[in-house]
Structure 1
Amino acid sequence: MKHREPKAATSAVAFKAVSDRKAVPDRKMNASRRTPYLQGQIDGLCGLYAIVNAFQLMFPGTFTDEDAWELMVNLCDAISPKFPAVIWKGAGVEDMVALFKAASQYALEAKHLKGTIEVTRPFANRRIDRVQDFWGELGAWLEDGVRRGEKRLALIGIGYPDNHWTIVTHIGARSVTFFDSWELKRLALRQFTVSNDVAKSNGGMHKLDTRQSFLIARKAAPSLRR
């Protein structure tokens, strides 16, 4: 996301509100939520929200609003040196690596979730020239998870004009489905390109940063593995 740069003092107050557990009273214990947590309209925290929303889908029935709050606090702590600037600049790739490390640790320690996550980056060092190849490979990986009975999601980075991290839940023949902090639900596959020039010269096109993709799979908790 692109944002106007606010005063640091204002952002510092915002970070304190996120870090201080007492800042949000009366947290509900809701483990049946089926809608994504939404970020503010003028912040760049989509990366953090994407991870929290991924947990909601990965651990249905056990991941509560209380857990979402605790996970968000852990994520903020993981990249605390980047505050307050991350609030309006957003999280970069290396920030996301640190955030996923913290999220994985949270899943290990939260025994009631009854599972952990495995995060991989198979596209990180690969050049993909055709967006169809990316969607095809990612879609096959997601479908393989369905066949195996394994929950799988992908967190992807959309570049120009959005600059946004989001969660992909399904890739069909013509469209991709999201679980998103901007309430983005579905876009046609033909609306994406791997070319920044094409995205800038064609209205309605989105630049896909394929190397900024994190594949997330739910795994059994260590004590439950055989």
Structure 2
Amino acid sequence: MAPRARTRRSHPAPFKQGRLDSLCGLYASVNAMRFACHTEGITTKISWNEVFRIMVEQIDARWRLADVLTEGTDSPEIQLCFRAAAVYLKKRHGIILRVTWPWSKRKVLNPATALQQLAQRLERGNALFFGYDGHKESHWTVVIGVTRTHVILMNSCYGPTMMLSDFAFHPEGHLARHQTYVLSAWSAALINISRL
């Protein structure tokens, strides 16, 4: 049988959503709140588009939206987004949103142990907002479970799991050449949702 001739594509492959934008922080914020509402049994018709818009308006009022869109968000922008969402959820739906950063004062921690401990708190009304830096990417996502070897994600892009052994910790987020991903003091936020 003769090998098939390769046909040349007449145009480049299209970029997928998320390839040119850096909105994972906003998507992960919304997904964390949605997950926490779901585990709390809150089925109120929340307009997540409206929550997203409120967060984008807050970012645009304080920072250049073009910069955030192309360079991504860091913890100050994320904290602002959660504060804006908390005001909206309380006023419009009678829902209390609490956000705590359990590693914010840590200088040393074992990522696998710390993530497994936080995952034990993912019962009713809680979600784990999670960010990491790597050599080729930085990303925000939502942790919905942790096994002995993997982190299970509710991810807006990339895969549904990551290996626990791929993470190292540095309080300021410095990534060494031999490390795959680094977590910092601001890499994890515990999201709690409850009714008034």
TM-score (norm 2): 0.77
**Structure 1 residue 213 corresponds to structure 2 residue 193:** no
> Would you tell me which structure has more helix in proportion to its own residues?
1
Contact 1:176-1:187 at 8 Å conserved across structures: yes
Q: Please show how residues 110-125 of structure 1 align to structure 2 within 5 Å.
A: 110-111=92-93, 115-125=95-105
Q: What letter matches 1:192 in structure 2? A: F
SS of alignment partner, residue 53 of structure 1:
helix
The ranges of structure 1 where at least 4 consecutive aligned residues each deviate by more than 6 angstroms after the TM superposition are none
CA 1:159–1:52: 2 relative to 1, 3 Å: same
**Structure 1 residue 187 corresponds to structure 2 residue 162:** yes
For 2:178, the equivalent position in structure 1 comes to: 201
Gaps of 5+ in 1: 1-37
Contact 2:29-2:78 at 8 Å conserved across structures: no
Highest CA radius of gyration, 1 or 2? 2
Q: Distance in 2 between matches of 1:120 and 1:39?
A: 30
**Structure 1 residue 84 corresponds to structure 2 residue 58:** no
Deviation at 1:109, TM superposition (A): 2.2
Q: Distance in 2 between matches of 1:214 and 1:139?
A: 12
CA offset digits 1:144-193 (Å, max 9, x no partner): xx3xxx22111111012321111111112221111111143111211212
Contact 1:134-1:210 at 8 Å conserved across structures: no
Q: What letter matches 1:86 in structure 2? A: V
CA 1:210–1:172: 2 relative to 1, 3 Å: farther
For 1:99, the equivalent position in structure 2 comes to: 81
> Would you tell me which structure has more strand in proportion to its own residues?
2
Q: Distance in 2 between matches of 1:122 and 1:197?
A: 21
For 2:133, the equivalent position in structure 1 comes to: 159
Contact 2:129-2:143 at 8 Å conserved across structures: yes
Greater relative contact order: 1 or 2 (C-alpha under 8 angstroms, separation 6 or more)?
2
TM-score (norm 1): 0.68
Gaps of 5+ in 2: 1-15
**Structure 1 residue 42 corresponds to structure 2 residue 20:** yes
CA offset digits 1:109-143 (Å, max 9, x no partner): 232xx63321111211111242233223312333x
Aligned residues, how many? 171
Q: What letter matches 2:68 in structure 1? A: V
Q: Please show how residues 12-91 of structure 1 align to structure 2 within 5 Å.
A: 40-60=18-38, 61-63=43-45, 67-80=47-60, 81-82=62-63, 83-91=65-73
